[in-house]
Amino acid sequence: MDDTAFVIAGRRFTSRLIVGTGKYPSHAVMAQAHAASGTEMVTVAVRRVNISDRSRESLLDYIDTNKIFLLPNTAGCYTADDAIRTAHLGREAGLSNWVKLEVIGDERTLFPDTEALLEATRVLVRDGFVVMPYTNDDPIVCRKLEDAGAAAVMPLGAPIGSGLGIQNPNNIRIIREFIRVPLIVDAGVGTASDAAVAMELGADGVLMNTAIAGAREPAAMAEAMKHAVIAGRLAYLAGRIPQKLYATASSPVEGLVNR
């Protein structure tokens, strides 16, 4: 059925699945998973070059940047200043002015510091970035991020790497009603059904890393995620039936031979 295009800051994507590049058993397995997922955008982290050991292969040798758009992140940053600095380094190292903005507030949960996140969003938007903030599932914060100029808003489904699935589905639905920019559920997906649920709730896309990279067969899970995102999107567009407590027969109740 007809769908509106998935467009972020004027750039059109066919796939609604954004995939990470961390924690795969090898770069080769990552490349297979990316291909199987059909993704057109992958996240990368910005880190110091290892000066003493130059033997390790470059991640970029395993990403076809003609087909896959690179989205640098600010993972590991705990202040707005660190995130802003890292975003600028990512822009220089890469090919675009896009950033997945993370400002983490707590090491154990990796929950975002939304106050610092808002501050960093304002600064980076002013500096000409396309800002995609990773945030919590608070509709008010999401609305403030949109007002601050975020090109998309990316609430978590559950803590990063937890695989718990969408913990607060009602908030995702409310966020969808609150904001006009794309809503991307980022983090918390554990398996394909979680990705489908995110899309059924009205998300425009899903971003995941561990669910694919940590699966026993990353490429197979990546393919499952591709189908789940497509299925969830279709179900959202198709309009699900209302939930009822009691049964409603699907077969006619008239004309039974034994009456």
Partner 1 sequence: MFITLNGEPHELDGPLSIADLLTKLSLDPRRVAVEHNYAIVKRKLFPDVRVNDGDRIEIVNFVGGG
Contact residues toward partner 1 (CB under 8 A) are: 20-24, 30, 43-49, 51, 54, 58-60, 70, 72-73, 75, 88-94, 160-161, 187, 207-210
d(C-alpha 248, C-alpha 244), whole Å: 9
Rounded to a whole number of angstroms, the minimum distance from the CB of residue 225 to partner 1 is 14
Is the CB of 23 or the CB of 67 nearer to partner 1?
23
CA-CA-CA-CA torsion sign (178, 38, 47, 160):
positive
Which CB, 12 or 56, lies closer to partner 1? Answer: 56
Q: Is 101 helix (H, G, I), strand (E, B) or coil?
A: strand
Structure tokens at 48: 């110091």
5, 2, 31, 3: which is closest to 19 by C-alpha? 31
Contacts of 89 (CB under 8 A, 6+ apart): 46
Please say which residue, 171 or 209, places its beta carbon nearer to partner 1.
209
CA 117 – CA 79 distance, rounded (Å): 8
Closest listed residue to residue 23, CA positions, set 160, 146, 149: 160
Task: Compute the least distance from the CB of residue 253 to partner 1, in Å.
Answer: 52
Bridge-partner residues for 101, per DSSP?
133
Q: Which residue of the set 23, 67, 100, 144 is catalytic?
A: 100
The least CB distance from residue 88 to partner 1, in Å, is 6
Closest distance to partner 1 from the beta carbon of 178 (Å): 25
Compute the least distance from the CB of residue 138 to partner 1, in Å. 21
Query: Among this protein's residues, is 100 annotated catalytic?
Result: yes
- What is the separation, in whole angstroms, between the first and last Cα of the chain? 42
Nearer to partner 1, 33 or 148 (CB): 33
Residue 245: both structure tokens together? 């407590």
21/121 with CB nearer partner 1: 21
Q: Which is nearer to partner 1, 62 or 178 (CB)?
A: 62
Please give the single-letter amino acid code of residue 156.
L
Distances (CA, A) of 39 to 34, 87, 89: 6, 22, 24
The CB-of-74 to partner 1 minimum distance in angstroms stands at 10
> Which of 192, 256, 258 lies closest to 222 in space, CA to CA?
192
- 3-class DSSP state of 183: strand
Give the residue numbers annotated as catalytic, written as ranges: 100
